[in-house]
A = this chain, B = another copy of it.
């Protein structure tokens, strides 16, 4: 991969999922010239038992934009689906196909496939189904032509990956990741996600034998160019 031109597209159910799941790796990529876009499927209006939904969504969108800047992402798109997804519609699928064909990502981040949170699982399935549909001669109404990322990675949030194929050492970017996470003040006030994430990164780092802090990923797709060098096509 020629890293100058590479585009990364990261999907999260709630405004803070991307930072939690792959923020450290994103910072590494951003520092190396990757262009990163965040797509937030719901604005997280159910994320409090005190703040009313209509207020909370505005607050959390601001937090997401602020965090994206810390990460070094170039843009944030809000899909504004209802928080607390219990399924997805055909229309949402066409939305995401259109988005993928328009933004043409080389690397795609999404929730891993065994997440314990239903909303996260639904979001993940929506993205992966749309990605599959975007890759072939299908869904004329979504516009654009077939596009498929070279690399698709699943990240962990509430549920730890039982098995992972990729461990990324984020020792150099952990503090930036935590700074981005700290932007989500409406969330970290109630639950200390920041401390949790620091703990998980350490556990992943030691247990993957890298010795430092790590983020781990499910490899959902890898192209032969990427995985076996530039020789096999």
State the A residues within 8 Å of B (CB).
1, 3, 6, 25, 28-29, 31-32, 46-53, 56, 82, 84-90, 92-94, 107, 114, 116-118, 125, 129, 132-133, 135-141, 144-146, 148, 151, 158-163, 165-169, 190-193, 195-203, 205-207, 209, 211, 219-224, 226-229, 231-233
Cβ–Cβ contact B87 & A86, under 8 A: yes
Cβ–Cβ contact A86 & B82, under 8 A: no
CA distance A86 to B226 in the complex (A): 32
Cβ–Cβ contact B190 & A232, under 8 A: no
Given A137-B49, A191-B206, A209-B191: A169 and B232 interface contact (C-beta under 8 Å): yes
Closest B residue to A55 by beta carbon equals B140
CA distance A132 to B206 in the complex (A): 15
Given A207-B158, A222-B219: A228 and B25 interface contact (C-beta under 8 Å): yes
Cβ–Cβ contact B224 & A169, under 8 A: yes
CA distance A209 to B49 in the complex (A): 14
Question: What are 8 A-B pairs at a CB distance below 8 A?
Answer: A28-B232, A46-B133, A117-B132, A160-B161, A167-B224, A168-B228, A199-B203, A203-B203
Q: Which residues of B contact A135 (CB under 8 A)?
A: 209
Q: Which residues of B contact A206 (CB under 8 A)?
A: 191-193, 195-196, 199
CA distance A211 to B221 in the complex (A): 18
* Identical chains bound together, number: 6
Q: Which residues of B contact A93 (CB under 8 A)?
A: 84, 86
Given contacts A84-B90, A198-B199, A200-B203, 8 further A-B contacts (CB under 8 A): A32-B232, A46-B138, A46-B141, A84-B93, A86-B90, A191-B211, A193-B206, A199-B200
CA distance A167 to B135 in the complex (A): 14
Cβ–Cβ contact A232 & B116, under 8 A: no
Q: Which residues of B contact A169 (CB under 8 A)?
A: 224, 232-233
Q: How far is the CB of A155 from chain B (nearest CB, A)?
A: 13
Top 3 A-B pairs, shortest CB-CB distance: A199-B202, A196-B206, A199-B199
Q: Which residues of B contact A46 (CB under 8 A)?
A: 133, 138-141
CA distance A194 to B206 in the complex (A): 9
Q: Which residues of B contact A232 (CB under 8 A)?
A: 25, 28-29, 32, 168-169
